[in-house]
Amino acid sequence: METRWIRLQKGNTDLKAIREAGEIIRRGGLVAFPTETVYGLGGDALNPASSNKIYAAKGRPSDNPLIVHICRWEDLPPIVKEIPPQAKALADAFWPGPLTMIFQKSDLVPKETTGGLSTVAVRYPDHKQALEFIKAAGGYIAAPSANTSGRPSPTEGKYVYEDLSGKIEMLLDDGLVSIGLESTIVDLTEEIPVILRPGYITEEMLQRVLGEVCADPTILHVAADAAPKAPGMKYRHYAPKGDLTIVTGQMETVVSKVNALSGQAMEQGVKVGIIGTDETISSYQADVKKSVGKRTDEAAIARRLYQILREFDDENVQLIYSEAFDDTGIGQAIMNRLLKAAGHKVLTVT
């Protein structure tokens, strides 16, 4: 299959292309599309065959459910059993936006879309062209991130093309996304809402609306006895090809330890990459050095992280060292993704 790569003009809605994309979805085909978080790999959420195609295109295990994307609040009731008052409050505060909520599903949603679960994850994205596309497609788009399973989520159209060319009918490309990490997932089927995946909508922001909210303990730690409740969180996601270790401690000690390790590896002919910040990057010695941005600018770090991991892949970096970041606010999401990319390999220096 040939993939049509349509370059949308940033901010402008190319209605002709988007209508065609909607037609493809209605016929049971797949289209990758931009959202404010990362690119999505979309199919008709109410068509079991489409969901199966999504799993196949991504190489994703079929017990890992997809998120259903809607473009209007009114489209929520038909696909869920009930809407808890907390969901209404969260929607008022954060929809459209980078927040996914888990509900008990109605019979309209096939089990293929929910990975066999009786619950459904729903998101209402804050992205003009995504909303037009969802509308053109009939209102319900099932979409995981538009990457091959196990690779970093795509923050630019070119990365989607790299992973999915030949496997989808169309790619709607809107350039670099604005957030760069996947949506926050909150489970509302429990008495106290649980954050299953941290994101741009932080724990503090949710707390302000809900009063009480708890975070799945596996977000920042490997728990031997606890399985994450979002099935997708158990897989080693977001993995770069190079072997990544996070180095944490006092910054000067981190820099000298990383330089020592990097020097040894380079002597043996290993290609080394370093993820630093604007404040530190010039102090490192390695084959490839990349800054994620200013340490104080969490939004910029979130937007740049996956891009850097992809760039290291392109440059065939074999060994990667990264600084650690604060794990509060958006930092919780940044560290969650970085830890997963590193397979939880952390070196603490004193």
Residues in contact with Mg ion by CB under 5 A are: 145
Angle, vertex CA 58, rays to CA 57 and CA 63, nearest 5: 110
Closer residue to ligand AMP, CB minimum distance, 97 or 273: 97
Contact flag: residue 231 with ligand AMP (CB under 6 A): yes
The answer to the question of residue 64 lying near ligand AMP (CB under 6 A) is yes
- Looking at residue 196, what DSSP letter applies? E
Element (H or E) spanning 290, and its range? strand 288-291
Q: Which does residue 69 bind out of ligand AMP, Mg ion, none, counting CB within 5 to 8 angstroms by kind? A: none
For position 67 contacting ligand AMP by CB under 6 A, the verdict is yes
Is 339 a binding residue for ligand AMP by CB under 6 A? The answer is no
Q: Which does 117 bind (CB under 5 to 8 A by kind): ligand AMP, Mg ion, none?
A: ligand AMP
Q: How far is residue 346's CA from residue 245's CA, in Å, rounded to a whole number?
A: 6
- Cβ atoms of 209 and 90 within 8 Å: the answer is yes
Residue 244 and residue 322 in contact, taking contact as beta carbons nearer than 8 Å:
yes
Which residues, 81 to 140, sit near ligand AMP by CB under 6 A? 102, 114, 117, 119-121
Q: Please give the Cα distance from 125 to 174 (Å, whole number).
A: 15
Measured in degrees and rounded to the nearest 5, phi and psi for residue 122 equal -130, 140
Q: Is 65 in the site for ligand AMP (CB under 6 A)?
A: yes
Nearer to ligand AMP, 83 or 117 (CB): 117
Least gap, CB of 153 to Mg ion (angstroms): 5
Q: What are φ and ψ of residue 100, in 5° steps?
A: -110, 135
How many residues touch ligand AMP under the rule CB under 6 A: the total is 20
Verify binding: residue 50, ligand AMP, rule CB under 6 A: no
Strand partners, 274: 289, 321
Residues near ligand AMP (CB under 6 A) are 64-65, 67, 102, 114, 117, 119-121, 144-145, 182, 185, 196-197, 229-233
